[in-house]
Amino acid sequence: DVKVTQSSRYLVKRTGEKVFLECVQDMDHENMFWYRQDPGLGLRLIYFSYDVKMKEKGDIPEGYSVSREKKERFSLILESASTNQTSMYLCASSSEDRGDVRETQYFGPGTRLLVL
Amino acid sequence: QKEVEQDPGPLSVPEGAIVSLNCTYSNSAFQYFMWYRQYSRKGPELLMYTYSSGNKEDGRFTAQVDKSSKYISLFIRDSQPSDSATYLCAMKANSGYALNFGKGTSLLVTP
């Protein structure tokens, strides 16, 4: 059973704080993703990583950075949190095997971040 | 035009009804089609996965893909109150890493 865990379920931070969100997967997946989900906007891809130390920008990378030092761990960093970054943050992972169900993305439980 | 369109609902049905959820898409390169279920304040969980065209059945759930019409469907038979959730369609081409998601349809099954 694929398991994706996220470090926090709920976080409250102040404007200007540096925020770290961590994601760990236990299925040896090559790919990992960070999304944010907002009402009426759906899921939007922030960054993804297809290998250790590799990263690619998604649709909305501004104000965010990521780090992948180990295969199982992918961190999302808000360098200076702002109120418009209040959102639900979802991490996902997937395998490289083409045409296989493992290529689909498996999601963590999400982190609800409130920036005051 | 967004690549994946999905009616947000909400859709409200009585328990036992057959539910039909749909998405349309514009990119003919999409080959992988998925349905995710998301309960309130939880992460999406994979419900159905289909590669290319055709139907797939799993218990009360049936996923259909019509590539000629660029249209995918999820049918839920004998719907239960526990099926109340948001259903997200997602799809992907052979190349690339990212999934293209619909915005989700909110379903409420009333006892």
- Return the SS3 of A106: strand
Contact of A51 with chain B, judged by CB distance below 8 Å, is answered with no
Statement: residue A96 has pLDDT above 80: no
Categorize the per-residue pLDDT at A116 as very low, low, confident or very high, splitting at 50, 70 and 90: very high
Alpha-carbon distance B15 to nearest alpha carbon in chain A (angstroms): 26
Give, in order, the Cα–Cα distances in Å from B9 to each of A3, A30, B12: 30, 35, 8
Share of chain B above pLDDT 70, in %: 99
Categorize the per-residue pLDDT at A105 as very low, low, confident or very high, splitting at 50, 70 and 90: confident
CB contact under 8 A, A43 and B101: yes
CB-nearest to A50 from B8, B34, B97 is B97
Mean pLDDT within B81-107: 91
Interface test with A, best of B86, B87, B91, B97 (most A CBs within 10 A): B97
Mean pLDDT within B38-53: 90
**B102 interaction partners in chain A (CB closer than 8 Å):** 42
Q: What residue ranges in A40-86 does DSSP mark as E strands?
A: 42-49, 56-57, 64-70, 73-78
Statement: residue A1 has pLDDT above 80: no
Alpha-carbon distance A43 to nearest alpha carbon in chain B (angstroms): 7
The per-residue pLDDT for A99 is 54
Q: Could you tell me the two tokens for A57?
A: 């920008």
**Pick the residue with more confidence: B45 or A103?**
B45
- State the Cα–Cα distance between residues A32 and A28, nearest whole angstrom: 10
Report the mean per-residue pLDDT for chain B. Answer: 92
- State the Cα–Cα distance between residues B10 and A3, nearest whole angstrom: 30
